[in-house]
Amino acid sequence: MTAINIRDLSIEYKKPKSEETFTAVQNVSLSIKEGSFVTVIGSSGCGKSTLLLAIAGLIPYASGVIEVGGAKVRGPGRDRAMVFQDASLLPWRTVHDNVRFGLELQRWSKDDVNERANRYVRMVGLGAFATYHPHQLSGGMRQRVNIARALAVDPDVLLMDEPFGALDAQTREVMGGELLRIWERDKKTAIFVTHAIDEAILLGDEVVVMGRNPGHIRAVVKIDLPRPRTAAMLDSEAFLAYRRQLRDYISADLAALQMIEGVV
């Protein structure tokens, strides 16, 4: 079953102090299966985050269609939850109360709020830190709270915009493994934007490669690696072949852009 269907999507922005528009994404079509984990990569400025924000209903689009669960996206909805690179936790709230926040906004019953907050705090491995405040947590722990808060509201689709981008390499690797563990349990449809090719391969059922000028889809690569996946796969021949393939796509996009701009 298709969870997300995008057809001929174009997104435009008005240029500052001008009536002219800038096309950020053009003619994007993509189908994402229910319960799949899709990663999105591409060079800076290719529209990865813009595409994610449009699916979330946080920005308008000029033309085309975005459907989630068969319903057209016309704005934010309870069927989608977004995780940003900045955890944006409320500093005066504890871990438990930060996870409660989204549930409270959606007016879940008091019993459900407490039960779900407790469950998802434990799921991300922070049960012993439930009464801590954000300043008492490491960057990785704060991002776990962010993910727990998104999952607690029971979205159909989890949208993640470089959630580990600000973390060091070792913490990022650990968090990737934790995210896969959580995803394997709930099997939410997930879209994960990243700059890191290895991360995209390790996490994704499919990797969507975006190109620039304007943003478009260059390729969709199916990742045929067994799950559960671990960092031990990084040196396998299959993994290295995917890495070369994806690097070639991005290198070709950058070369084409340089030709257009007269750099080479």
User: In this predicted model, what pLDDT tens digit does every residue of 83-132 receive, in sequence order?
Assistant: 988 878 999 999 999 999 888 888 888 878 889 999 999 988 899 999 99
For residue 232, tell me if it sits in a domain.
no
Q: How far apart are CA 212 and CA 257, in angstroms?
A: 7
For residue 235, tell me if it sits in a domain.
no
Q: Are strands 63-68 and 71-72 parallel, antiparallel or unpaired?
A: antiparallel
CA 230 distance to own-chain centroid: 19
For residue 211, tell me if it sits in a domain.
no
Cβ atoms of 198 and 235 within 8 Å: the answer is no
Asked whether the bond before 214 is cis by omega within 30 degrees of 0, the reply is yes
Residue 103 belongs to what domain range? 87-154
Q: What is the pLDDT of residue 262?
A: 55
The residue written with tokens 């308008």 in the block is: 60
- Domain total for the chain? 1
Q: How far apart are CA 1 and CA 234, in angstroms?
A: 31
For residue 189, tell me if it sits in a domain.
no
For residue 91, tell me if it sits in a domain.
yes
Examine the pLDDT at 26 and tell me if it is beyond 90.
yes
Residue-wise pLDDT for 27-57, tens only, equals 999 999 999 999 999 988 889 999 999 999 9
For residue 261, tell me if it sits in a domain.
no
Q: How far apart are CA 127 and CA 104, in angstroms?
A: 20
For residue 72, tell me if it sits in a domain.
no
- 146 residue type, one letter: N
Task: With cut-offs at 50, 70 and 90, classify the pLDDT of residue 257.
Answer: low
pTM of the model: 0.90
The residue written with tokens 């559960």 in the block is: 228
For residue 50, tell me if it sits in a domain.
no
Q: What is the pLDDT of residue 66?
A: 96
